[in-house]
A and B are shown apart, each in its own frame.
Chain A
Amino acid sequence: MKSLAQGFKDQAGQITRDLRHREIIQTALRKYEGVRDKTKAAFQDWEAARQAASAIKWEGINHLDKYLVEFADKLEARGTKVHWASNGQQARDIVLGIIQERKARSIIKSKAMTSEEIHLNEALEKAGFEVVESDLGEFIVQLRKEAPYHIVFPAMHLTRGDISELFARELGSAPTQSPEELTMIARRVLRQKYITADIGLTGANFAIAETGMVSITENEGNARLTAALPKVMITLLGIEKILPRLEDLALFLPMLATAGTGQPLTCYNSLYGGPRQAGETDGPEEYHVVLLDNRRTELLADAEQRDALHCIRCGACLNVCPIFRNVGGHTYGTTYSGPIGSVITPHLRGLQDWKHLSFASSLCGACTEACPVKIDLHHHLLQNRRNASKQKPSLFEKLGFRLFAFIINRPRWYGFVKRAGWLVQKLHPWVKGTRLDPAYGWTKTRELPPIARQTFKEFWRSRR
């Protein structure tokens, strides 16, 4: 079987040559950058805000033991059932159990990357239930039977034309280029689904320990309908979503919106604290919160990279990443793509299987600069590389670097190799750009500068 690394390379090789894809993504993300910069400028001090957000997340993550219990206790006090899932299988079983117990048939969902992480939709569909994504982007990729392309913009790789074609094919609608009309087509389908669904399943943006509340932020009102209409509500979230205090939202909601989409604030911001209470007229009859570990605690145990749990899934690092911009979201083959995905996937799914993502980076650091909670992303890629090479070195590379060290540390050897290289390069044109070329990785697409007749060192010696 082809390795994951080879699969990544093959797909990257194809998509980087796809100029239409390149144009769509570059244009969309340049537009995002423009809007984001304007909104960032409205902050009195964006850097201070990042610092503060990082400190709050640091506190939350370093005291997860305390805050998670506080969060769960407060929720349960209002009649919420809190479930703890160590892994994906447990989380899927918990959700399936709730659905079966309620004899439910259909589930409406708002956006939840954790559900992608544990492949919940597939499990529910396999068990015979209907699952409908209500976020417009998610609805579109679900119709295409695709994973989300991006953690915030699931369908950013598609044009209006692509979506119109898809709707015409899958929903029988008339072709249109108007975003409003396309939205209305989806809405007509979805409104019916909210009403008939037995269960509403959401993700969460933040988990407030102080008050035992789930914070959900969205632009379409679909999460509100998902939470409000069905009789049973389930929220699936990773344990790292903790924020200690309610007032922390005053910082995190605008930062998430700014970094994520460039909005000053996302349109709909809701807090959910439990099922319908006595005397209340609306809200679900039952509320379940499923807290997912799925190897997050292993990342927590890594003192060097623990801050990766600060991630608020804003997608800012994906948006600025030149690798993401060129290979796109699907090439990664992971739930979380871009720099944050390259950092955490080896922790969540195995270092040796996923180390190639940490190597597939120029270490430019744009991600770290963009991260609103100051995760040291590109340095974590370096640490993953170190850990991977230490755990399972490539003999070829190890010997190569030893030989390199031997030569480079000995001026006479270095001089000899230079002269040999200078002579041998005269033969290079014969093989340049072919498979026989030792520099094929470079010369397939680029010219290689020749070794100079007189190197700097030779110049320096000749002068004295």
Chain B
Amino acid sequence: MNVTLFIPCFVDLMFPKVGISMVQILERLGHTIACPAELACCGQPAFNSGYWDEARTVAVKVLRELKDAEVVVIASGSCGAMLKVFCPELFAGTEHAEAAGALSKRCYEFSDFLVNKLGVTDLGSRFPAKVTFHDGCHGLRELGNKKPARQLLAKVRGLELVEMKDAEVCCGFGGTFATKFPMISTAMGEVKCASAFETGADYIVSNDSSCLMQVQGLLDRQGAKLKTIHLAEVLAQS
């Protein structure tokens, strides 16, 4: 299959290993990867801040770039939700409405793509560690992906998954919310970290780097031993 990989701006800049791991996994499965150089952001920051005109300026380019893509795999549940759920709303009543609707149907978040589109759960990965999984809200509630990541983790050799209390409760990132209301965002993150500590896990795994940036940021400040890691990085290890 010809897979177009959408690496969102913050993953590109700060978490390149996540994208590289996805390339490795998809190539190992025999797919051809394209990463359009022009593609950088889905427009969500402006959209969530209420600046829909500015969001459209960014997202319209995404529509153009991905017009002919067979399938699009997005390296973040949140940006995935933007393309799949919010873009059709953003472009409703405009000349791009049809393109946004059509693109929405061809978009997949990474774990959803592996499990539900490709039907793969066992990637032959090995990651000997005790981990707990954090559900990113957009992937969980906008895209409805609760199972795929857990199905994938279940097949990783040496990995023990311990569910934390309130795995589905938000970590407090929330995009611009994290800096507009840092005190609330931080408190939410602290509650999340406390739940993760209780499991005694070595790693918090998630399929959204934005959540992991929030959690790792707090863990580093606290000097905690617990680490975060993206699902793709876990799956790429063999």
Contacts and interface: CB of A to CB of B under 8 A. Distances in A.
B221 A446 contact: yes
The B interface is mostly helix, strand or loop, or mixed, namely: helix
A22 interface: yes
Interface stretch (A39-47, A273-281, A382-390): A382-390
Contact of B48 (A363, A421, A446, A458): A363
Interface in A10-37: 12-13, 16-17, 22, 26, 30
Nearest to A326: B187
Given A17-B183, A389-B49, A449 B15 contact: yes
A12 B51 contact: no
Contacts of B38: 409, 411
Contact of A409 (B14, B57, B172, B175): B57
A459 B23 CA distance: 11
A63 interface: no
Interface in A345-390: 359-366, 368-369, 382, 385-390
Nearest to B180: A359
Contacts, number: 188
Given A26-B191, A401-B45, A445-B186, A456 B214 contact: no
Contacts of B30: none
Contacts of B16: 452, 454-456, 458-459
A389 to B, nearest CB: 3
Interface string A418-443: 10010000000000000000010110
Contact of B169 (A322, A393, A444, A445): A322
B237 to A, nearest CB: 18
A397 interface: yes
A184 interface: no
B142 A365 contact: yes
A411 B40 contact: yes
B49 A397 contact: yes
Interface string A229-262: 0000000000000000000000000000000000
A447 B50 contact: no
Nearest to B35: A460
Contact of A12 (B14, B23, B165, B184): B184
Contacts of A450: 14
A371 to B, nearest CB: 12
Contacts of B197: none
A398 B54 contact: yes
Contacts of A402: 54, 57
A449 B209 CA distance: 11
Given A322-B188, A326-B191, A366 B183 contact: no
Contacts of A439: 179
Contacts of A365: 137-138, 141-142
Contacts of B216: 447, 449
A405 B174 contact: no
Interface stretch (B5-13, B115-123, B125-133): B5-13
A349 B196 CA distance: 40
B214 A446 contact: yes
Given A385-B48, A404-B45, A449-B213, A361 B177 contact: yes
B99 interface: no
B155 interface: no
A409 B39 CA distance: 8
B113 interface: no
Contacts of B177: 359-363
Contacts of B46: 401, 404-405
B141 A364 contact: yes
Contact of B184 (A326, A368, A446): A326
A295 B74 CA distance: 43
A449 B14 contact: yes
B37 A326 contact: no
A446 B141 contact: no
A364 B137 contact: yes
Nearest to B11: A456
Given A16-B183, A441-B179, A386 B50 contact: yes
A103 interface: no
> 6 tightest A-B contacts by CB?
A362-B174, A389-B50, A446-B217, A441-B179, A364-B170, A385-B50
14 contacts: A16-B186, A322-B191, A363-B177, A365-B138, A386-B52, A405-B58, A409-B38, A411-B38, A414-B9, A441-B179, A442-B182, A449-B213, A457-B7, A460-B35
Interface of A: 9, 12-13, 16-17, 22, 26, 30, 322-323, 325-327, 359-366, 368-369, 382, 385-390, 393, 397-398, 401-402, 404-405, 408-409, 411, 414, 418, 421, 439, 441-442, 444-452, 454-461
Interface of B: 7, 9, 11-16, 18-20, 23, 35, 37-38, 40-41, 43, 45-52, 54-55, 57-58, 61, 137-138, 141-142, 165-166, 168-170, 172-175, 177-189, 191, 213-214, 216-218, 220-221
